[in-house]
Each structure stands twice: as structure tokens, then as C-alpha cells.
Chain A
């Protein structure tokens, strides 16, 4: 089995290195094909490992080599394929293999074609390390690796110049990339502190050792560890207040948004909470905090998606909102449901983004959905797949989202956190509304694009073919629910429902009702030309379109003062104090040398004179300070 583990892990790395060899050269189709093929190797190895774990119910645990061995600290490069990581592996490799194939078409005319595939495969490799590592240190390496690749890929079109916030809320790709990277550094500090606390108190970073020892620790300490680890998860999974980077990360190429900023990397935070479930199970209060924050973000992000006019940003906010749902489930102890939603969400959200990529291609990279409309005529297949994904996202039976999202709502209701349930319920309605607002504005209604001179066309067949498996999964993934539960609960804690029968049915009914209501409202309103322009003057609209003014507040509150502080440190402190001191010392030495060089007259008499003077001075000193008197 080790062979398949290594195949799954290292094929993306090989693909990345292969593409990197041609990094600076003009487009070579071979890089795309080879790296995609290697991704399929990784996918099939992961599927085989899944088959192995399912049939034998045993886990694969290998130690590649000792990595750090200092004193008591022993961190091996170990990898584990257990019930949780194999699910993650399959999800990650499925989505990334399809996104690789899709990218061959999407990036066809891009001059950075080879570079793109190098980064993309490197990302998959980092993500595989993250999910397969058997210790927190390995997880952290993967964690930083995906952060780096995210930075590289968000800033992929780094040559685009900065513009003001009114023109483009994300300013420029390089700005967005830096924002994402810096926000994640802030969160990573929290995570590192968490890891240090774990090591100090348990003396190990291996999952099995840590989780065994955690029950013996002081409850306050465990809470602290849980909180710090969650701060790390908040950054990676873009939870409030570290959420602004995710929407701005949409500056990257669309396949990147599909793979990294929807399906895989952003779910790493959820994965961390799921993986560290013994820690969070021990401290339900921290779990409740996570759930509350998740529910808040679920509604908060959905509200911003309601009014946005940017195709990708709407989907990005929906990702944020769905991550909130996952955290609710994870926070309330229903880890397997969080993992289930993570998986189904990866499928339909990647599909949604790839569909958005097709639309962008057709519209020459135009993103304003108010300039589209009626695209279903020219882009039939894209429209169908986007509708499937939107239905799944809205949580309509029998699509995947229905099963996972409804379960989360059930958990919230079942654990008697009715406020959370109401928030999520409202969030479900909002989700349905904005999803179908997008679908209606893009694919149906008046063909507004004609006014702007666009000539849309359907994407290449292989791009659609790459999306098709995701569409199928978005439809059927939900039916694996029971098998999935049985499978992952062999290592994750089970969640026992207290409510049964009629209540559950009622809950499902109520949730489906609001989702259908949202869809109906969107379809009704936007098939008749949408809301009136007067709404735009409404302060609520202004608040939402400006993202609650949070980016502006951050800029005023943190960026500007920090820049000012840096300027002061540079101009006042560094130049005036540090540099001046160093320059002064140098000047003194230089000038004294300049003045003193006349001593070296070359005249033996005068040199002897100086020597005698020195001798006399030394003699006087000896006489004055001699210890022997």
C-alpha cells in the first residue's frame, strides 16, 4: 500500500517540477498534459487507497524518514492514510485533476501557461502533505505550502497595475495576493502558538500521541490550544474577521479560484478542526464559539453576496458562507457532517467556479453580471451545469448540498442552539436567492451583452468534459451519506441525534421551503427585470456592496497606521538614529585618520620623538598605577 501512498503524494510534485523546467519558455502543451496525467495517477492511487481502507478497515501509516531529531524533539516525516485523510485525498485529487484538464483550455492563450501548471501541481502536492501528514509539523508545512502556492496563483497576473477601490475592489492581483498572504501570516502566528503549546504540554506533535495526552491536560490549557489552532483555521478558511482576503483572491485565474479558493485550500481550516476533534470535543465552549462564528459568517457572507455584481465575488462569498456552515457542524461536534459538507461543497463549488470560468471566457473576462444575460442560448451546457451546481448549493433534493446542508441545520436544531438554527435557516434562504439571482442574470432574461459588443461562445469540449464528472458528483454525492457516515465515524466521533421522525421531516420541509422560496423570489424578480434602481440608494445596499466597509476600515485602522508607523521607523528611527550613529562612528574614525596621517611624516627623528613620548607616557602610567608600590 505504501507504493500507492507515495504515488498519490509525489505525482503532483513530479508534475510540478516537470512544468517548472519549462517555466520561462513559451507555452508548451506537453506541460499541461503531463501534469494533468500525473494528477490522474494521484487520483487513481487515492481511489485505490480509499478502496483499500473501505474494504479492510485498516489504515496505512508510513514513516518516510526522520526529519527533526533534537534532544527530546522527534518529528518524523510520516504520512497516514486513515478514514479522514483518504476522503480528503480523494476530494482534493478529484477536483484538482479535473481542474488541471480544464485549465489546459482555460489558459490556452496565456503566456504563463507552463508556469501556471507548475504552481497548480505544487499546490496539490502541498495540499496532499497537509492532509496526509501524521503530525502537526507536517500539517504546518503543507499549510504554509498551500499558502505560498495561493499567493503565487492569486498574483499570477502580477503585471496588472493597481487601480482604486472604486474601479476594482481587489485593487490588483499582486495587491490581492499580498493581502491573502499577510492575513494568513497573522493567523499562522496563532496556529504556531497553538503548536508550541501542544508540544510543551504533551512533548510531541504526533496526532496519536497528542490526542491521547490531551484528555489528561488542564481544561483551560486545552481551551487555549483549541482557540489558537482555530485562529490558524480562521485565516485559512477566511472566517470573520480575517475574511476579506478570500473575495479579493478572485483576482487569480478562475481555475485557481475553483481549486484553491473554493474546493480545497480554504477547507484546510475545517480539516484542522475535524482532525483535532479530540481537542475540540474536550472543550465544548470553544466548539460553541466556533459554531457561533460559523453561523455568523454564514449569514454575513451571504448578505454580501446578495448585492454584488461581480460574478466571481458572488461565488466567493458563497464559499465563505458555506465554510461557516462547516464550522457550525464541526463546532457542535458533528465532525463527520462537517467533513461531508466539505466534500459535497468541493464538488459543486468547483463546478460553479468552472462554469463561471466558461462565462468569463465567453465574455472576454467581463465579470459584471449586469452586462450578461440570456447566455443560456449560446452556452447551453455551461448553463445546465451551473444550474445543477446552484441547485446543489441551494440545497434542493436530490442534489448533494441538500443532504449535507440539511444535516448541519438538523445538528444546530438538535443541539438546541435554536438561534444558530435560525441564522443558518436564513442563510439557506439567502444562498438560494443569490445563487439564482446569478443564474438568472447570467443565463436568462434580456441579452444585455449585445449592447457592449460581446460575442459569447461555448467553451471547448474538453473543458465541459472536465466539468461533467463534477456535475455528476454534485447530483449523486449526497446519496453516499450513510456509507460515508459509517466509514468516517470509525475514527471520528459519532453524532447522536435526539430528534426523530416528524421533527426531522418538518425541519427538512422548512429548510427546503425557504430555499425554494429564495429561488422562486430570484426567478420571479429577475425574469421581470430585477429590482428597481432605487434600491441602490438604500443605505443597506450601500453597506452590503461596500462589504460592510470592512476593507476600508481595515485600511484606515490597520494598514494606514502601520504604513505610517513603518514610515516613522524608516525616516525618523532608522535614518536619523541608527544610520546617523553608524555614520557618526565611521566619520569620527575617517576624520581622525585624515587628520592624524601627518604623523606618518616618514622622518625618523619625529617618529622617534613620538616613540619617546609614548615611552614616557607609559612610564608615567606604570609609576602611577603600578600595583607594587
Chain B
């Protein structure tokens, strides 16, 4: 029997993987992937809790998250491509033009 806890554990694991990805990856593209993992981890959480409480609000919210994630990626990838064309690299360590 798969209970709510299983879903939430999965959510947590996915979220942690995403977090580590954000922290460790130096490639900007990989960073986007990691962000997607974070968002989708949360989406699973929303869907699971929504099902558990028999309340559609959570699933509705998940749709919003998907929509926003899509637009975010669209904008982000656009910027990324321009950056790549200019600099020739999407490595995070080369993007340090402003520092204290």
C-alpha cells in the first residue's frame, strides 16, 4: 500500500537531489534542470496532499507551478542562448563580473 508518507518521502528525496544539483553544478543548463527537479518535487507533494485531503486546490496549484516553470524556462533559456553566443561558455565560474 502506498501511503501519503511514501509520496512525501519521494518529494523530499527529489527536492534534496535538486538542491544538491543547484549547489554543486557549475553548468548553467544543469542548474535549470535542477530547478525543474525542485519544482516538480513540490508538484508531486501538492498532488499527493491534494489527493489525500480530497481537495482539488493542491492539484490546481501544481498546474500553476507547471505553467510558471514553463515560462521561466522559456525566458531563462533565451537569456542563456544569448549569453552563450556572446561569451562562448555557460560555466558559472566565468560569470563573476560583479563582486565586492
A602 contacts B19, C-beta separation under 8 Å: no
Q: Mark contacts of B80-99 with chain A using CB atoms, 8 A cut-off: 1 yes-contact digit, 0 otherwise.
A: 00000000000011011111
B23 at the interface (CB under 8 A from A): yes
What are the residues of chain B within 8 A of A24 when measuring CB–CB? none
What are the residues of chain B within 8 A of A604 when measuring CB–CB? 31, 92, 95
For window 608-623 of A, CB contacts with B under 8 Å fall at 608-609, 612
Q: Which residue of B lies closest to A599 (CB)?
A: B100
B22 contacts A608, C-beta separation under 8 Å: yes
A601 at the interface (CB under 8 A from B): yes
A626 at the interface (CB under 8 A from B): no
B6 at the interface (CB under 8 A from A): no
B96 contacts A601, C-beta separation under 8 Å: yes
How far is the CB of B72 from the nearest CB of chain A, in Å?
Answer: 16
Cα distance A609–B100 when bound, in Å? Answer: 17
B100 contacts A598, C-beta separation under 8 Å: yes
B92 contacts A603, C-beta separation under 8 Å: yes
Interface size on B, residues (CB 8 A): 14
A602 contacts B23, C-beta separation under 8 Å: no
For window 16-32 of B, CB contacts with A under 8 Å fall at 19, 22-23, 25-26, 31
A600 contacts B100, C-beta separation under 8 Å: yes
B23 contacts A597, C-beta separation under 8 Å: no
Question: B93 contacts which of A597, A600, A605, A612 (Cβ < 8 Å)?
Answer: A605
Known: A608-B22, A612-B19, A612-B23. A600 touches B99 (CB 8 A): yes
How far is the CB of A20 from the nearest CB of chain B, in Å?
Answer: 58
A602 contacts B99, C-beta separation under 8 Å: yes
B100 contacts A597, C-beta separation under 8 Å: yes
What are the residues of chain A within 8 A of B98 when measuring CB–CB? 600, 602
What are the residues of chain B within 8 A of A599 when measuring CB–CB? 100
Cα distance A605–B99 when bound, in Å? Answer: 13
Cα distance A609–B31 when bound, in Å? Answer: 13
> Is chain B's binding surface mostly helix, strand, loop or mixed?
loop
Q: Which residue of A lies closest to B97 (CB)?
A: A602
For window 577-607 of A, CB contacts with B under 8 Å fall at 597-605
What are the residues of chain A within 8 A of B95 when measuring CB–CB? 602-604
Cα distance A612–B18 when bound, in Å? Answer: 12
Q: Mark contacts of A256-281 with chain B using CB atoms, 8 A cut-off: 1 yes-contact digit, 0 otherwise.
A: 00000000000000000000000000
> Interface extent on A, as a size class?
10 to 19
Cα distance A603–B96 when bound, in Å? Answer: 5
What are the residues of chain A within 8 A of B26 when measuring CB–CB? 605
What are the residues of chain A within 8 A of B25 when measuring CB–CB? 605
Q: Which residue of A lies closest to B95 (CB)?
A: A604
How far is the CB of B40 from the nearest CB of chain A, in Å?
Answer: 18
Q: Which residue of A lies closest to B98 (CB)?
A: A602
Residue in B19, B98, B99 whose Cβ sees the most chain A Cβ within 10 Å: B99
Q: Which residue of A lies closest to B99 (CB)?
A: A602
What are the residues of chain A within 8 A of B100 when measuring CB–CB? 597-602
How far is the CB of A609 from the nearest CB of chain B, in Å?
Answer: 6
Cα distance A603–B28 when bound, in Å? Answer: 12
What are the residues of chain B within 8 A of A601 when measuring CB–CB? 96, 99-100
Cα distance A599–B26 when bound, in Å? Answer: 18
Question: B96 contacts which of A597, A602, A608 (Cβ < 8 Å)?
Answer: A602
What are the residues of chain B within 8 A of A600 when measuring CB–CB? 98-100
Q: Mark contacts of B25-62 with chain A using CB atoms, 8 A cut-off: 1 yes-contact digit, 0 otherwise.
A: 11000010000000000000000000000000000000
How far is the CB of B49 from the nearest CB of chain A, in Å?
Answer: 16
What are the residues of chain A within 8 A of B99 when measuring CB–CB? 600-603
Q: Mark contacts of A110-127 with chain B using CB atoms, 8 A cut-off: 1 yes-contact digit, 0 otherwise.
A: 000000000000000000
How far is the CB of A603 from the nearest CB of chain B, in Å?
Answer: 5
Cα distance A601–B93 when bound, in Å? Answer: 10
Residue in B92, B97, B98 whose Cβ sees the most chain A Cβ within 10 Å: B92
Cα distance A11–B6 when bound, in Å? Answer: 99
Q: Which residue of A lies closest to B25 (CB)?
A: A605
Q: Which residue of B lies closest to A604 (CB)?
A: B92
Cα distance A600–B97 when bound, in Å? Answer: 11
B93 contacts A603, C-beta separation under 8 Å: yes
How far is the CB of A593 from the nearest CB of chain B, in Å?
Answer: 9
What are the residues of chain B within 8 A of A603 when measuring CB–CB? 92-93, 95-96, 99
Cα distance A605–B21 when bound, in Å? Answer: 10
How far is the CB of A610 from the nearest CB of chain B, in Å?
Answer: 10
What are the residues of chain A within 8 A of B97 when measuring CB–CB? 602
What are the residues of chain B within 8 A of A609 when measuring CB–CB? 23
Q: Which residue of A lies closest to B31 (CB)?
A: A604
A605 contacts B92, C-beta separation under 8 Å: yes
B96 contacts A612, C-beta separation under 8 Å: no
What are the residues of chain A within 8 A of B93 when measuring CB–CB? 603, 605
How far is the CB of A595 from the nearest CB of chain B, in Å?
Answer: 11
Cα distance A51–B22 when bound, in Å? Answer: 101
What are the residues of chain A within 8 A of B19 when measuring CB–CB? 612
How far is the CB of B33 from the nearest CB of chain A, in Å?
Answer: 14
How far is the CB of B45 from the nearest CB of chain A, in Å?
Answer: 15
Cα distance A602–B22 when bound, in Å? Answer: 16
How far is the CB of A161 from the nearest CB of chain B, in Å?
Answer: 56
Cα distance A602–B97 when bound, in Å? Answer: 7
Cα distance A226–B26 when bound, in Å? Answer: 88
Cα distance A604–B25 when bound, in Å? Answer: 10
How far is the CB of A204 from the nearest CB of chain B, in Å?
Answer: 66
Q: Which residue of A lies closest to B26 (CB)?
A: A605
What are the residues of chain B within 8 A of A597 when measuring CB–CB? 100
What are the residues of chain B within 8 A of A598 when measuring CB–CB? 100
A-B contact pairs, 15 of them (CB 8 A): A600-B98, A600-B100, A601-B96, A602-B97, A602-B99, A603-B95, A604-B92, A604-B95, A605-B23, A605-B25, A605-B26, A605-B92, A608-B22, A612-B19, A612-B23
- Hey, which bits of chain B sit against chain A, CB under 8 A? 19, 22-23, 25-26, 31, 92-93, 95-100
What are the nearest 5 A-B pairs in CB distance? A600-B100, A597-B100, A602-B99, A602-B96, A602-B98
* Apart from A597-B100, A601-B96, A603-B92: 16 A-B pairs, beta carbons within 8 A: A600-B98, A600-B99, A600-B100, A602-B95, A602-B96, A602-B97, A602-B98, A602-B99, A603-B95, A603-B96, A603-B99, A604-B92, A605-B26, A605-B92, A608-B23, A612-B19
